[in-house]
Structure 1
Amino acid sequence: MNLPPIGLGTMGIDDPDTVATALDVGYRHLDTARIYDNEAVVGEGLAAGLAGGDLDREDVTVATKLWIDDLAADAVSPAARESADRLGVDRLDLLYVHRPRGEYDPDATLPALDRLVDEGLVRGVGVSNFEPSDLDRAVDALDAPIAAHQTELHPLFHRPELLEHAREHGYAVVAYSPLAGGRVREVDPVVEAAEAHDATPEAVAIAWATAKEPVVAIPKASSEAHLRANLAATGVELTDAEVAAIDAVEREEELFPE
């Protein structure tokens, strides 16, 4: 699946105008989840963004995630259809297993997701917060290829072995919390690179993440100024030395551990 380098993470967003503004300034990937309790908000913002007629539904990747109590084989289809209804879409472009926990059984859950692909309700199956062993089992259990693996990734925490697995199997890594909850403003190599490129530390952190094949990022932002600043990361080209300096930061700040 060809994902834009920067999308919008929507956890905590409760105003559809934020989503509509994101689409207006150029975002083409919207990421939500059932557990965020804002699929209807994202759907309303998507509808508003499409209402002007300058943007087609096919231009926007709409992604959501099944929570751990939606993962029994007989629960997958009803939950996915409820999400599509709340989002106001006929098709979910990307549907993730949010975490391999709870009712998750790869030999039952993943074939149920395959059936949704066959039925046309889902375009791509994603996984989220998986360990390498979980990824290997998903590769074996799915008929459809993994479209994306969503994982925490920022200058204070990332796992190179997950990127290697994605490269080996040809799927995207979607970096959530790429701004480390605002902590990137405290990371010296990030701040120094931001000063050198006349960019925000947030844009540098996103540029650092998306420079790592095959990573795309989904930072959250609410104001138009921050939405634009994050999207401007596509114009930041870090030097090899700057990337190496950020790589060398001790990675101990996982925000969302198990």
Structure 2
Amino acid sequence: MDERRTEGGTPGAATMGPVGLGTMGIEDPDRVASAVETGYRHLDTAQIYDNEAVVGAGIERAAAAREDLFVATKVWVDELAPADVVASTEASLDRLGLDYVDLLYVHRPIGEYDPEETLPAFDRLREEGLVRNVGVSNFSPEQVAEAREVLDAPLLANQVEMHPLYRQPELREDAQRRGYRLVAYSPLAQGEVFEVPELRAVAEKHDATPAQVSLAWLASLPNVVPIPRSASDAHLRENLAALALALDDGDVAKIESIERTEKLFE
């Protein structure tokens, strides 16, 4: 019997894995299909990206079984009233062409978000089998704690901006202590990592790129899963290859010593 489990405890399902594909801005289903065929299994989209149908078409074109993929989407802030959570998630599934998503996030704790009203609707979707796991995005540790108190389901993940220029130490500690994942979006700081001397030095030492160093550092952190975007098949392969890059203590210390701080999204 196959005893594979997601981090949220669903028998026989795909896991989140060490790296995923961020799809914001992707408009070509072939890019998604290429990612799957390159080895990506975790695909991340959102209602506000307006590309769930693109991701779904890419999944359909790819040579991978549904049960081997971990597909996540997010409910936008104007759809977080209970009835809207259900209706908008059903619409997301229609666009994706899927019977369920492996992870459904609250995209941001603003707009129509009310934990006592919104989160029970997420629980209901999980109970009905339309959602395998529940997550939040752009939440502070205090907001995560509140969500965990309200939810019946385990909280699988908090998706946040995270990269060497915005390292999120408080959330990293909280995620490790409480056992949820931090899914790191914009892990390359929208290309800014290429201009950081410390990252360039580590990359030169390992005959790698600053992007690979950034992804290797994130993937090495407890409970952290980076989800880089990619504009080409070459970058898809390069980002995946970063998982094989072994950083030593000196490399990590150099990355953690970066004094420049840059938060890209408010």
Same fold (TM over 0.5): yes
Q: Which residue of 2 aligns with 1:26?
A: 39
Q: Which residue of 2 aligns with 1:41?
A: 54
Q: Which residue of 1 aligns with 2:116?
A: 107
Change (3 A) 1:251 1:65: farther
| Greater mean alpha carbon deviation, residues 18-27 or residues 162-171 | 162-171
Matches within 5 A, 1:185-204: 185-204=194-213
Tell me the secondary structure at the aligned position of residue 12 of structure 1: coil
Aligned structure 1 segments of 4 or more residues deviating by more than 6 angstroms: none
Unaligned runs of 5+ in 1: none
AA partner of residue 98 (structure 1): H
Tell me the secondary structure at the aligned position of residue 175 of structure 1: strand
Tell me how far apart the structure 2 counterparts of residues 158 and 129 of structure 1 sit (CA, whole Å). Answer: 14
CA deviation string 1:126-167 (max 9, x = no partner): 100001111110010000010111000001112111111111
Tell me the secondary structure at the aligned position of residue 134 of structure 1: helix
Tell me how far apart the structure 1 counterparts of residues 240 and 209 of structure 2 sit (CA, whole Å). Answer: 11
Shift in Å, 1:199: 1.3
CA deviation string 1:230-257 (max 9, x = no partner): 0001100111111111111125200102
Tell me how far apart the structure 2 counterparts of residues 204 and 171 of structure 1 sit (CA, whole Å). Answer: 24
Q: Which residue of 1 aligns with 2:3?
A: none
Q: Which one of 243, 251, 261 corresponds to residue 242 of structure 1?
A: 251
Tell me how far apart the structure 2 counterparts of residues 247 and 72 of structure 1 sit (CA, whole Å). Answer: 40
Q: Aligned pairs, how many?
A: 253
Q: Which residue of 2 aligns with 1:172?
A: 181
Tell me how far apart the structure 2 counterparts of residues 72 and 164 of structure 1 sit (CA, whole Å). Answer: 31
Tell me how far apart the structure 2 counterparts of residues 65 and 139 of structure 1 sit (CA, whole Å). Answer: 18
Q: Which residue of 2 aligns with 1:141?
A: 150
Tell me the secondary structure at the aligned position of residue 122 of structure 1: coil
Tell me how far apart the structure 2 counterparts of residues 105 and 36 of structure 1 sit (CA, whole Å). Answer: 22
Tell me how far apart the structure 2 counterparts of residues 89 and 104 of structure 1 sit (CA, whole Å). Answer: 25
Q: Are 2:79 and 1:66 equivalent residues in the alignment?
A: no
AA partner of residue 248 (structure 1): S
Identity of aligned residues (%): 57
Unaligned runs of 5+ in 2: 1-6, 8-14
